[in-house]
């Protein structure tokens, strides 16, 4: 087997996976910057996938049988639904933690359990008619690459989701670090009581941050589902694994979206490496452990160094209640 | 001046706000919880009916059949085994949670113990007696559990590393190690561990996991005394309240953290050993099946109190076992259906937790509040309902009366010489507390000529039921009065 | 004081003991021939998985055909993992009065066997298992089908397609290896007999038509892993495979083939609609004839037709092996080969058609008994009708051809 060809296909697959991770990680970074340790992100990504499949189904249902399916709408509408469903997931989390003052870990875990179960059930129950046609239309949204050589295959054959993901990550980084809104968000995440006395509406920031974070994570889930099945099949599994690794990436990139772009790529490479490497079991499983070990190491090192720049938001995981002040 | 005005306009106040509830009487607290639990089961049934129309009754009948089939003792034993398992997990987590050490790594800690005990049970020389293999497997599992639990503790103690994220990572590392173990140990391609031939428990009352119940009872008593009566428990509570206070008092916080996690790890080891050698007698990387996370939820819902944890373990077990049985009757995948219902169950209970600790109040202006107060007093007279001051007086008198009765009983118990009898009598006293309270009430009412009258009950009931209507009409009347006043001013 | 303590303790223990005695464990219903049969089915996943969907759909077909012979609809428990929950599911089915219980996954076997020993009145029929041969439990059965024949025929159809590709000059230089052989690819789950038997029979089918072929096999180490299967297919295609087939339960490999335009032969699922450009042929096991055979045997009070040592191997003749080919002309040609297989004039594992280490096999001991010692003990080569061949699935229903023949290379 040509090593060069293998490397090229490896890289292009890695970039595709890293897109899913990047969406999940960016969404989770926004959540965590506001102080919400949202362990429901895997469930929210699943919700997004469900939204994507539902959106496709609705679009197909609303198009009369004679009209051909539009290749732009066949992707746009699922994404729209994915955003709505992801935002809804974020809304549930923030409702339970901000308004009902529940423990964040508990809410997150329950949300993930429920999200996985509900989404799997509904995605598998989707009717399949006109799926082949939808699949064909969806292919054209993912441009072909054969004619562009190796550069084209790696960099230009990625769907526009990848570019969108990078744009969103950069935008998030800029907003968080350079704008007033970002500053307020960081304040809420570091010390909610102080932010509250400064006049920042803590609850509003937390709600909106979680909703937006959920929407972005939902896009990631939908992208994975649409890309994997090209809209043709109605199977969904393994999306929550992406969610947990996205959480790892958030820690690994020390809550900085720009680092998350590269961390997502690295983790994506690690997670697909076992399929490309032939070797004994120890190598395969060793590669599987690597992302978690790497995250653990970053966690340990940053807490040893105790540098302010690399720490988690101080109020991470703590619910803010004004009367406690 | 203008700027100030515009700022006021901009501050939009949401009409409702949340405050902490103070002094909620125990019975109300439990009423909310019971309503929540029943509501959770009801909601699960409704969801089931939505997914598969017409199955509402079937859902509940299958739920009961799956859990409480009295013609088949094994069902109940299995239910108790599952309860015991969840109880053990939640109990193991309790000391750590009381210390505000958010250990969500139960899944991984149990799995690594399962791995070690499976390995020992499978590869121990077969000429050793079964009991020796069991003891070895148990010991190995406990060591593994302690190791896996103490690593995050050490990093938290010395470097303040976030334990939630740390233990989460340890979970996944454990899962990968589990997969590696299976593929290395099982040479044949099918990757199926198969049933253990040695190092297993035999069947008691139809289930191999029956001894789990015994262990659960023992650990329950152990954890109860550890948290409530021992010095360690006291130190754990203080650290949980405030680390600074603990340091000030002279508690070595680092030692407490590490020691508590060793305790957790040991129990996790026991759990892993039971899962492999008793209940399932096999091993694969999904053998814990999410119970670690469920245990976290149960511990939290039970407010880290062993008694409440017992209740919630039982309910969660009923939910899981019942929905697994119901799933096939309503033609759904057992695993998916059971996880959806368990998710709904926990969400409803979590929501109800809110109502027992907080209340929603509405912003009202002062004038309306005083008008509302007057109207309420008039209304109370109409319905011959006691007003708050009367109620307060009644409660005070009754409390004094009841205290004398309680003290008599406690005196009797104290005078009991035999320690064991005293213990039994104390338990009896605690169990019969509600009944003695009711009896005291009856006696007190008779003495004060407050007889129970059905008419009075109906009046109180009517008062409560029509309150929302009253509230609305009060608002309307108040608005009308305001309009009149404004008109009066203008005129 | 001590006396009363002892008294209460003794009373409690006696009470629990009495409860144990009076409470009975589940008693299975005795079955008498001629009564309506109540069926239970245990599956690993639900219809979302093509593997389990195959079993569940076959059960509906069988239930319809059996009509009045069965009692109500079959009770199907889906989502049952390969642990104690399988035993609990079997218990519940016995409690609900089932007379026969089927299960579909390899890992269910130990628990089904345990249940069979506990309730001898109920028949336990486990698909893909291996222990019925040695367990000597009269109510415990294993079943499989001669799917190697189905794969051989599907491979033959793939060979015909490959031949057309060669004649139309549509193969690239990368599709040929250094010796001028055309490369094939196969995505397998685990490297053991069931999978080896599958890919070898497919390879031999292609080889029948186009003799200069070699095959690379990559293993995903999982029955259902979409990403791994997709990556495996991609790796094979990048390596120059002109045709790809797979033995794994997701649509990862067919999807990847469709994306890259490489012809694909599937298993369990006909991808005519999902992969219109690359679907060549498919094969699958149809379990309905087995289900019907079991229930009819119980109803008539006879032994299960075609069963041998509690092992049932369905064949093309019994309708247990099905296949289809996309191209109608090719289908006609394949049907001729099918007739030869049925007549016995052609054998799939004909020893003259393959070599191991450069030589044709005359004798081979296979590990049929699967006692966990991995020691082969049964002679598998037979001569019949003038052909020396590996007699697959004769001694035991689950396949035991685990030889890597010349021309096939394992990649991992």
Per-residue confidence (pLDDT) for residue B15, from 0 to 100: 65
DSSP C181: P
In this prediction, residue C47 has a pLDDT band, given cuts at 50, 70 and 90, of: confident
| Residues of A whose CB is below 8 A from B290 | 113
B376/chain A closest Cα distance in angstroms: 29
| Residues of B whose CB is below 8 A from C114 | 195
User: CA-to-CA distance for C130 and C109, rounded, in angstroms?
Assistant: 8
CB-based contact C392:C366 (threshold 8 Å): no
CATH superfamily of the domain spanning C147-287+314-410:
Response regulator (3.40.50.2300)
Per-residue confidence (pLDDT) for residue B3, from 0 to 100: 42
Q: Which of B74, B289, B334 sits opposite C80 (nearest CB)?
A: B334
Record: contact C255-A230, CB cut-off 8 A: yes
Helical residues (DSSP H) of C35-168, grouped into ranges: 50-66, 84-95, 109-118, 132-135, 147-167
Whether the predicted pLDDT of A185 surpasses 60:
yes
Instruction: Please count the structural domains in chain A.
Output: 1
User: CA-to-CA distance for B96 and B163, rounded, in angstroms?
Assistant: 11
| Residues of A whose CB is below 8 A from B157 | none
Strand, helix or coil for residue A315: coil
Helical residues (DSSP H) of C168-251, grouped into ranges: 193-209, 226-238
| Spacing of C-alpha B345 from chain mean position | 12
CATH number of C39-146+288-313: 3.40.50.2300
| Any B CB within 8 A of A244 CB | yes
3-state SS of A140-178?
CCCCCCHHHHHHHHHHHCCCHHHHHHHHHHHHHHHHHHH
| Residues of A whose CB is below 8 A from C48 | 120, 124, 235
CB-based contact A34:A173 (threshold 8 Å): no
CB-based contact C400:C374 (threshold 8 Å): no
Whether the predicted pLDDT of C3 surpasses 60:
no
| Both tokens assigned to C189 | 């789950």
Which residue from B298, B320, B293, B292 is spatially nearest to B310, judged by alpha carbons?
B298
What average pLDDT score do residues A163-192 get? 90
| Residues of B whose CB is below 8 A from A303 | 155, 159-162
CB-based contact B360:B16 (threshold 8 Å): yes
Record: contact B183-C5, CB cut-off 8 A: no
Q: Which residues pair with C381 in a beta bridge?
A: C390
For chain B, the structural domain boundaries read 74-317, 366-490
In this prediction, residue C154 has a pLDDT band, given cuts at 50, 70 and 90, of: very high
Computed over every residue of chain A, the mean pLDDT equals 80
User: CA-to-CA distance for C262 and B195, rounded, in angstroms?
Assistant: 42
Question: Which residue on chain B is closest to A297 by alpha carbon?
Answer: B166
User: CA-to-CA distance for B470 and B478, rounded, in angstroms?
Assistant: 12
Measured from the Cβ of residue A222, the count of other Cβ atoms closer than 10 Å reads: 34
User: CA-to-CA distance for A172 and A256, rounded, in angstroms?
Assistant: 9
In this prediction, residue C342 has a pLDDT band, given cuts at 50, 70 and 90, of: confident
Which residue from A209, A260, A268 is spatially nearest to A38, judged by alpha carbons?
A209
Record: contact A113-B343, CB cut-off 8 A: yes
Measured from the Cβ of residue A180, the count of other Cβ atoms closer than 10 Å reads: 8
In this prediction, residue A89 has a pLDDT band, given cuts at 50, 70 and 90, of: very high
| Residues of A whose CB is below 8 A from B104 | 39, 105, 109
CB-based contact A112:B107 (threshold 8 Å): no
Q: What percent of chain A has pLDDT over 90?
A: 24
Record: contact C255-A124, CB cut-off 8 A: no
Q: Please identify which residue in the block is written with the tokens 């540098």.
A: A307
Record: contact C46-A124, CB cut-off 8 A: yes
Best C4, C6, C45, C46 member to test B by mutation, with max B CBs in 10 Å, is: C46
Record: contact A102-B354, CB cut-off 8 A: yes
DSSP letters for B68-96:
--TT-HHHHHHHHHHHHHHHHHHHHHHHH
Whether the predicted pLDDT of C11 surpasses 60:
no
Q: Collect all residues with Cβ–Cβ distance below 8 Å to C107 and sequence separation of at least 6.
A: B190, B192, C44, C82, C86
Task: Give residues 277 to 306 of B whose Cβ lies within 8 Å of A.
Answer: 290, 293, 296-297, 300-301
Q: Which positions in chain C have a beta carbon within 8 angstroms of at least one beta carbon in chain A? A: 46-48, 174, 218, 220-221, 224, 226-228, 230-232, 234-235, 238-240, 250-251, 255, 259, 273-274, 276, 411-412
Residues in chain B, total: 491
* Sign of the alpha-carbon dihedral angle for C291, C296, C301, C306: negative
CA distances from B365 to A201, B370, B371 (A): 23, 9, 10
| Both tokens assigned to A246 | 């996205």
Q: List the subunits that have 3+ CB pairs under 8 angstroms with B.
A: A, C
| Residues of C whose CB is below 8 A from A141 | none
Which residue from A54, A231, A56 is spatially nearest to A136, judged by alpha carbons?
A231
What average pLDDT score do residues A23-50 get? 92
**pLDDT tens digits, residue range A284-307?**
788 888 888 888 888 888 888 766
Per-residue confidence (pLDDT) for residue A1, from 0 to 100: 47
> Considering the domain boundaries, does residue A139 fall inside one?
yes
Computed over every residue of chain C, the mean pLDDT equals 84
Q: Which of A114, A316, A323 sits opposite B347 (nearest CB)?
A: A114
| Both tokens assigned to C91 | 């218990």
Interface size between A and C, measured as CB pairs under 8 A? 62
B427/chain A closest Cα distance in angstroms: 33
Record: contact B195-C88, CB cut-off 8 A: no
Which residue from A301, A302, A322 is spatially nearest to A312, judged by alpha carbons?
A302
DSSP letters for C333-362:
HHHHHHHHHHHTS--TTBGGG--BTTB--S
**pLDDT tens digits, residue range A242-275?**
888 898 889 888 889 999 999 999 888 888 777 6
**pLDDT tens digits, residue range B400-443?**
988 988 898 888 888 888 888 888 888 888 888 888 888 888 88
ipTM over the 0.85 cut-off: no
Q: Could you give the residue range(s) of every CATH 3.40.50.2300 domain in chain C?
A: 39-146+288-313, 147-287+314-410
Record: contact A238-C227, CB cut-off 8 A: yes
Phi, psi (degrees; rounded to nearest 5) at C408: -110, 135
User: CA-to-CA distance for C298 and C121, rounded, in angstroms?
Assistant: 12
**pLDDT tens digits, residue range C62-117?**
999 988 888 888 999 988 888 888 988 998 899 888 999 999 988 888 899 989 99
Element housing B324 (H / E): helix B306-329
CATH number of B74-317: 1.10.3470
CATH number, domain containing residue A172: 1.10.3470
Low-confidence ranges of chain B (pLDDT < 70): 1-15, 187-192, 206, 489-491
Record: contact A102-B165, CB cut-off 8 A: no
Half-sphere exposure of C346 (CA within 13 A, CB side): 18
In this prediction, residue C22 has a pLDDT band, given cuts at 50, 70 and 90, of: very low
In this prediction, residue A157 has a pLDDT band, given cuts at 50, 70 and 90, of: low
* The pairing of beta strand B358-362 with beta strand C381-384: unpaired
Q: Which of B51, B172, B184 sits opposite A244 (nearest CB)?
A: B172
Element housing B463 (H / E): helix B454-465
| Residues of A whose CB is below 8 A from B19 | 323
Choose the weakest-confidence range: A228-232, B185-189, B449-453, C291-295: A228-232
Q: Which of B293, B297, B336 sits opposite A121 (nearest CB)?
A: B336
C142/chain A closest Cα distance in angstroms: 30
> Where in the sequence is the domain holding A191, given as residue range(s)?
12-324
CB-based contact A265:A321 (threshold 8 Å): no
**pLDDT tens digits, residue range C218-267?**
888 777 777 778 878 888 888 888 999 998 877 778 888 887 889 999 88
CB-based contact C348:C155 (threshold 8 Å): no
| Spacing of C-alpha C166 from chain mean position | 33
> Considering the domain boundaries, does residue A1 fall inside one?
no
Phi, psi (degrees; rounded to nearest 5) at C79: 70, 30
C370/chain A closest Cα distance in angstroms: 23
Per-residue confidence (pLDDT) for residue A321, from 0 to 100: 66
| Residues of B whose CB is below 8 A from A35 | none
């Amino acid at each position: 087997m040509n090593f060069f060809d293998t490397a090229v296909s490896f890289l292009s697959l890695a970039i595709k996976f890293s897109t899913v991770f990047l969406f999940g990680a960016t969404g989770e970074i926004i959540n965590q910057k506001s102080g919400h340790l949202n362990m429901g992100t895997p469930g929210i990504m699943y919700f997004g996938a469900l939204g994507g499949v539902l959106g496709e189904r609705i679009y197909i249902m609303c198009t009369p049988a004679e009209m051909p399916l539009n290749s732009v709408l066949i992707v746009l509408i699922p994404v729209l639904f994915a955003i709505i469903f992801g935002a809804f997931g974020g809304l549930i989390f923030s409702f339970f933690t901000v308004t009902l003052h529940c423990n964040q870990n508990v809410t997150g875990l329950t949300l993930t359990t429920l999200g996985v179960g509900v989404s799997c059930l509904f995605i598998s129950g989707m009717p399949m008619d006109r799926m082949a046609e939808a699949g064909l239309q969806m292919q054209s949204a993912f441009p072909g690459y054969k004619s562009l050589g190796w550069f084209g295959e790696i960099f230009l054959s990625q769907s526009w989701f990848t570019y969108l993901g990078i744009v969103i990550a950069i935008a998030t980084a800029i907003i968080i670090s350079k704008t007033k809104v970002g500053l307020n968000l960081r304040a809420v995440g570091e010390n909610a009581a102080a932010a509250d006395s400064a006049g920042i509406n803590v609850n509003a920031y937390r709600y909106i941050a979680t909703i937006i974070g959920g929407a972005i994570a939902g896009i990631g889930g939908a992208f994975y589902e649409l890309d994997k099945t090209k809209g043709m099949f109605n199977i969904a599994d393994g999306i929550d694994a992406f969610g947990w690794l996205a959480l790892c990436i958030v820690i690994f990139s020390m809550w900085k979206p720009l680092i998350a772009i590269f961390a997502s790529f690295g983790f994506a490479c690690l997670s697909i490496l076992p399929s490309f490497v032939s070797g004994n079991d120890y190598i395969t499983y060793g590669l599987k452990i690597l992302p978690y070990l790497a995250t653990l190491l970053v966690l340990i090192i940053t807490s040893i160094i105790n540098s302010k720049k690399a720490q988690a938001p101080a109020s991470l995981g703590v619910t803010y209640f004004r009367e406690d002040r | 001046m203008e700027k100030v005005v515009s700022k006021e306009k901009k501050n939009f106040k949401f009409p409702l706000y949340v405050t902490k509830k103070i002094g909620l009487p125990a019975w109300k607290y439990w009423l909310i919880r019971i309503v929540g639990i029943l509501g959770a089961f009801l909601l699960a049934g409704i969801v089931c009916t939505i997914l598969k129309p017409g199955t509402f009754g079937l859902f509940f009948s299958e739920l009961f059949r799956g859990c409480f089939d009295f013609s088949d003792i094994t069902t109940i034993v299995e239910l108790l085994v599952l309860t015991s398992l969840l109880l053990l997990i939640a109990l193991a987590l309790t000391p750590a949670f009381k210390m505000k050490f958010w250990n969500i790594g139960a899944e991984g800690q149990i799995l690594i113990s399962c791995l070690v005990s499976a390995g020992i049970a499978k590869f121990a020389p077969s000429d050793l007696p079964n009991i020796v293999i069991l003891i070895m497997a148990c010991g190995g599992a406990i060591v593994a559990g302690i190791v896996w639990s103490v690593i995050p503790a050490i990093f938290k103690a010395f470097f303040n590393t976030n334990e939630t994220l740390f233990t989460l990572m340890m979970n996944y590392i454990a899962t990968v190690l589990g997969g590696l173990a299976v593929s290395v140990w099982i040479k044949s391609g099918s990757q199926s561990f198969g049933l253990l031939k040695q190092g297993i428990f035999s069947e008691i009352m139809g289930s191999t996991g029956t001894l789990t119940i015994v262990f659960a009872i023992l650990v329950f008593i152990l954890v109860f005394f550890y948290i409530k009566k021992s010095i360690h428990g006291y130190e754990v509570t203080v650290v949980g309240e405030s680390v600074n206070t603990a340091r000030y008092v002279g508690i070595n916080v680092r030692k407490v953290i590490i020691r508590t996690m060793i305790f957790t790890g040991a129990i996790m080891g026991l759990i892993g050993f039971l899962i492999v050698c008793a209940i399932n007698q096999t091993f694969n990387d999904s053998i814990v099946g999410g119970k670690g996370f469920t245990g976290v939820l149960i511990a939290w819902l039970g407010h880290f109190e062993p008694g409440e944890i017992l209740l919630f373990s039982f309910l969660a077990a009923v939910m899981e076992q019942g929905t697994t049985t119901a799933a096939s009757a309503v033609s759904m995948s057992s695993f998916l259906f059971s996880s959806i219902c368990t998710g709904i169950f926990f969400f409803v209970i979590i929501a109800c937790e809110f109502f027992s600790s907080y209340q929603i109040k509405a912003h009202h202006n002062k004038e309306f509040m005083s008008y509302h107060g007057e109207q309420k007093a008039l209304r109370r007279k109409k319905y011959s309902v006691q007003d708050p001051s009367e109620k307060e007086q009644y409660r005070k008198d009754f409390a004094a009366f009841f205290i004398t009765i309680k003290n008599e009983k406690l005196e009797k118990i104290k005078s009991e010489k035999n320690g064991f009898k005293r213990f039994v009598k104390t338990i009896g006293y605690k169990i019969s507390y509600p009944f003695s309270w009711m009896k005291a009430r009856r006696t007190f009412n008779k003495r004060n000529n407050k007889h129970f009258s059905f008419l009075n009950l109906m009046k109180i009931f009517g008062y409560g039921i029509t309150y929302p209507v009253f509230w609305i009409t009060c608002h309307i009347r108040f608005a009308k009065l305001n309009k009149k006043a404004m008109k009066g001013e203008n005129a | 004081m001590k006396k009363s303590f002892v008294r209460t303790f003794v009373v409690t223990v006696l009470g629990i003991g009495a409860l144990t005695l009076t409470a009975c464990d589940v008693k299975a219903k005795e079955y008498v021939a001629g009564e309506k049969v109540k069926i239970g089915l245990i599956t690993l996943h639900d219809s979302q998985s093509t593997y389990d969907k195959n079993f569940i759909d076959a059960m509906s077909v069988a239930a319809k055909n059996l009509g009045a012979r069965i009692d109500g609809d079959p009770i199907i428990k889906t989502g049952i993992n390969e642990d104690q929950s399988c035993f609990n599911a079997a218990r519940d089915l016995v409690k609900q009065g089932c007379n026969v219980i089927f299960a579909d996954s390899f890992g269910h076997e130990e628990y089904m066997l345990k249940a069979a020993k506990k309730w001898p009145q109920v028949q336990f029929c486990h698909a893909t298992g291996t222990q019925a041969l040695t367990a000597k439990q009269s109510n415990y059965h294993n079943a499989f089908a001669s799917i190697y024949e189905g794969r051989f025929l599907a491979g033959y159809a793939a060979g015909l397609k490959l031949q057309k590709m060669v004649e139309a000059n549509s193969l690239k230089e990368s599709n040929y290896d250094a010796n001028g052989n055309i490369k094939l690819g196969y995505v397998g789950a685990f490297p053991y007999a069931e999978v080896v038997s599958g890919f070898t029979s497919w390879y031999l089918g292609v080889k029948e038509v186009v003799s200069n072929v070699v095959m690379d096999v990559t293993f995903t180490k999982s029955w259902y892993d979409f990403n791994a299967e997709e990556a495996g297919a991609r790796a094979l295609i990048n390596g120059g495979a002109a045709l790809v087939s797979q033995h794994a339960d997701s649509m990862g490999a067919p999807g990847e083939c469709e994306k890259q335009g490489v012809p694909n032969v599937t298993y369990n699922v006909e991808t005519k609609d999902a992969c219109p450009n690359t679907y060549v042929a498919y094969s699958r096991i149809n379990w309905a004839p087995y289900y019907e055979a079991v229930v009819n045997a119980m109803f008539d009070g006879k032994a299960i037709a075609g069963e041998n040592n509690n092992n049932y191997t369905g064949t093309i003749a019994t309708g247990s092996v099905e296949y289809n080919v996309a191209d109608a002309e090719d289908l006609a040609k394949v049907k001729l080969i099918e007739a030869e297989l049925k007549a016995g004039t052609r054998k799939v594992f004909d020893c003259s058609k393959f070599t191991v280490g450069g030589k044709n096999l005359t004798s081979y001991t296979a590990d049929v008994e699967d006692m966990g010692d991995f020691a082969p003990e049964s002679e598998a080569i037979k001569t019949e009708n003038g052909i020396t061949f590996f007699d697959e699935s004769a001694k035991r229903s689950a396949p035991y051809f685990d030889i890597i023949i010349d021309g096939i290379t394992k990649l991992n």
